[in-house]
Amino acid sequence: MFRFIAKRFLEMIPVLFVIATLTFFMVRLAPGGPFTTEKSIPPEIQKKLEAFYGLNKPLYEQYLDYMGNLLKGDLGPSFKYATWSVNELIWSAFPVSLELGCYGLAIALILGLGAGIVASLRQNSAVDHISMSLAMLGICVPTFVMGPLLVLIFGLGLGWVNASGWDSARDRILPSLTLGGFYAAYIARLARGGMLEILNQDFIRTARAKGASPKRVILKHALKGGLLPVVSFLGPAVADIITGSFVVETIFQVPGLGRFFVTAAFNRDYTMVLGTVLFYAVLIILLNLVVDVVQVWLNPRLRFE
Amino acid sequence: MQQTIAPELPQATPLLREEAGGSLWLDAWHRLSRNKMAVASAVILTVLTLLSVFAPWIAPYSYEEQNLALRAVPPQAGHWLGTDALGRDQLTRLLYGGRVSLMVGIVATGVALAIGVTYGAISGFYGGMVDVVMMRTVDIIYALPFTIFVILLMVFFGRDIRLLFVAIGAVEWLTMARIVRAQVQALQKQEFIEAARALGLRRRRIIFVHMLPNVIGPIIVYATLTVPAVMLLEAFLSFLGLGVQPPMSSWGLMIKDGADRMEECPWLLIAPGVTLATTLFCLNFLGDGLRDALDVRTSKD
């Protein structure tokens, strides 16, 4: 297992290299620049700014500079937020997204696993139909519809919570529900499908025949295999949840990382775009590695290759 | 006795057709038509598609026509779904928006299909080093933050609807390639493929004439489930202001407008939201129905 993990870490390097290179040149090929704003800056100031950020050097030199700094873990200075480095910006915004993501993930897991497992145990019952219809609804109502609707009902209509903001504990409720609800729907469907497949297998019948209690059959025998589809879904999903959803953070004005994914591109904040993309990529790769390890633990027939 | 014979007679027809090779599809068709949710979904989708396609002839107004006297009015006679802040008819914009959403859904899925099926079939057919290299490439691409790349592409180069088709299609082909590869690999050892080889048929002919027809079930099912994913991505990009540009209309764009002024005019959010959700709902149910009807196992690997 140690060799497997070490190998995957080594594989990460070329992948990140490809991502960094692709993004670097894509960002630079794009028309416009970080200092082309509506208010025109005097040319001499623009020249000084470009010299300060090294933008007047040939592109390949800038690329080598960037990659050199990247090796040291330095993502460079932000072009938009003067005096801030990209590292500082990410580390100041990420905890907010992480907090929101943890609430969302908790909601998604509790609702999703609960509904999915119960539905699989009572296949074709009313509980099954109702929870699966709700899950389908959760998938089909996108977060950018669900969020505003929740604000409309609970914020503006009933006045139970603030429409937006991130100050009090109450402000956490709606964004967490919007974020978690969507993933709960997926998890419920996957958990039900996975459990149904396992519950029909011979070893479950054997366990029942040997007199194992229903609780023991589910917890000890069925759950491990039944949750495999959920686990492989969770890898990329967790990366999405904790790096912050642009939609949820914009609707509820949460000061997290998610909004940078789009605003940095709009501002042509080259280093910030690269920084967020790389940060996200590292998280996705790490979480996929965790998923692979957990999958082998859940299903011993798989081996570490 | 007669009563027991009579019901058997209709079965003779499917049996005869089996020799013609139509039985699988006929069976699937029967199974699908018994699934009420799937049939209802197909009917709703057909109606929505027809309404959108014929929008220029059906719609009571033009999509950019402004009636400044009737700005942001709630649903009423003449404007069944109300008007937006610029005095444009909401129903008209919904119909035109459907054209964009459905077209993106279909075209982008087509792009994803073309790339994914060809890639997967080649990888599965040739095997060996070709397969290893091609599938490792897919694994690496999977790790790329693709939604972000689509956003970047649209911010930097675009807001051009053709770019939107290609960009979305380029994201969605990966899973398709994996599914097709697994299926083709399983077919490799079947006798009729060996027979085709022994007959000296060209590789291209074996792949496209003998293998792909046998993989068509999973392809149809996955394509049906890709369409809603693609439509959702388009709506999301339009919601960010990166997709379809005003004054043209799209469901995502309308949801954005509606969310911005939902306090004063909630109908602007509800109509496009419900329409989008209904469409996605129907596509998902139809996809599930097709999967059951064609007996495809989607839990791959």
Q: Å from A48 to nearest chain B CA?
A: 25
- Cβ–Cβ below 8 Å for B156 and A29: yes
Class of domain B40-56+81-294: mainly alpha
Measured CA to CA in angstroms, residue B237 lies from A151, B95, B150, B161 at distances of: 21, 19, 9, 11
Query: Residue A104 in contact with residue A112, Cβ under 8 Å?
Result: no
Closest-CA residue of chain B to A23: B149
More confident residue, B228 or B142: B228
The DSSP result for A50-66, as a single string, is HHHTTTTS-HHHHHHHH
DSSP string covering A10-24: HHHHHHHHHHHHHHH
Closest chain B residue by Cα to residue A240: B145
Residues from chain B contacting residue A31 (CB–CB below 8 Å): 156-157
- Residues of A whose CB is below 8 A from B281: 136-137, 140
Query: pLDDT-based confidence at A104, cuts 50/70/90?
Result: very high
Q: How far is A211 from chain B (nearest CA, A)?
A: 30
Q: What is the largest CA-CA distance in chain A?
A: 85
What is the tens place of the pLDDT at every residue in A121-148? 888 888 888 998 888 888 888 888 888 8
Q: Tell me what ipTM this predicted complex has.
A: 0.76
For B4-61, how does the pLDDT look when each residue is reduced to its tens digit (9 = 90+)? 333 333 343 444 444 445 567 787 888 888 888 889 999 999 999 999 888 888 877 7
Where along chain B do its domains lie? Answer: 40-56+81-294
Is A152's CB within 8 Å of B145's CB? no
What's this model's pTM, rounded to 2 decimal places?
0.79
Q: Tell me the chain B residues in contact with residue A140 when contact means C-beta distances shorter than 8 Å.
A: 228, 277-278, 280-281, 284
Q: Please write the tens of the pLDDT for every residue from B96-126.
A: 888 888 888 888 899 889 999 999 988 888 8
Interface test with B, best of A15, A18, A145 (most B CBs within 10 A): A145
